[in-house]
Amino acid sequence: MTEHTEHIDSAKTYILVFLCLIGLTLLTTAVAFVNLGDFSVVAALTIAVCKMLLVALFFMHVRHSTKLTKLVLAGALVWLGILILLTLTDFATRGLGGVPGR
């Protein structure tokens, strides 16, 4: 199984992706000045994830890569998710139920 190196993206594609990234950067900066309450962090992270996907899919060629590469990347994100989410089962539930020290 080889990496799909025959497919060489055009410079135009890369520049287009770059412009999207700049746009999203400006967007996230602007949105930060708008009061979205709790949704602010969701918006910021969503935009960041979009930027990450653009860099990964286009600049890192994940778009053309093997299933294994995609699995490796997805796996890492899942593992990061496990680290944060399972730890939050502790930090987000302390004091729930009103029992002291629990």
Partner 1 sequence: MITAAVTERENYLNVSHGLKSWLLTKDHKRIGLLYLFTITLFFFLGGAFATLIRIELLTPQGGLVSSETYNKLFTMHGVAMIFFFLIPSIPATLGNFFLPMMIGARDLAFPRINLLSWYLLVIGGLFGLFAMLAGGVDTGWTFYTPYSTTYSNSWVIATALGIFVAGFSSILTGLNFIVTVHRMRAPGMTWFRLPLFVWANYATSLIQVLGTPVLAVTIVLLFSERVFHIGIFDPALGGDPVLFQHLFWFYSHPAVYIMVLPAMGVLSELVSTFSRKPIFGYKLVAFSSVAIAVLGFLVWGHHLFVSTQSVYAGMVFSFLSYFVAIPSAIKVFNWTATLYKGSISYATPMLYAFGFIGLFTIGGLTGLFVASLGIDVHVTDTYFVVAHFHYIMVGGTIMAYLGGLHYWWPKITGRMYPELWARLSAMVIFLGFNFTFFPQFILGYLGMPRRYHVYPPEFQVLHVMSTLGASVLAVGYAIPMVYFVWSLRYGKLAPDNPWGATGLEWKTPSPPPPHNFDRIPIVEHEAYDYSTVVGEVMEVG
Partner 2 sequence: MASQIHAETLALREQFNTEAQQKDAATLGMWIFLITEIMFFGGLFLAYTVYRRWYADAFAVASSSLNVYIGAANTVVLLSSSLTMVLAVRAAQLGKRKAIVWFLVLTLLLGGVFLGVKAYEWNQKFVEHHIPGPAFHFEGVAQQGPAQLFFSLYFAMTGLHALHMVIGVGLLTLLIVQAAKGRFSASYMTPVDVVGLYWHFVDIIWIFLFPLLYLIDRHLGK
**Per CB under 8 A, does 21 bind partner 2?**
yes
Q: What is the DSSP letter of 56?
A: I
20 binds, among partner 2, partner 1, none (CB under 5 to 8 A by kind): none
The residue from 39, 42, 45, 93 that contacts partner 2 (CB under 8 A) is 45
**Per CB under 8 A, does 42 bind partner 2?**
no
**Per CB under 8 A, does 67 bind partner 1?**
no
Tokens of 97: 């139920």
> CA-to-CA distance for 23 and 41, rounded, in angstroms?
18
Q: What is the DSSP letter of 58?
A: I
Helix, strand and coil in the chain, % to nearest 5 = 70, 0, 30
The residue from 12, 86, 98, 100 that contacts partner 1 (CB under 8 A) is 86
Q: Cite the DSSP H helix spans in the chain.
A: 11-31, 39-54, 67-91
Contact call for residues 54 and 20 (beta carbons, < 8 A): yes
**Per CB under 8 A, does 34 bind partner 2?**
yes
39 binds, among partner 1, partner 2, none (CB under 5 to 8 A by kind): none
The residue ranges that bind partner 1 (CB under 8 A) are: 68, 75-76, 79, 82-83, 86-87, 89-91, 93-96, 99, 101-102
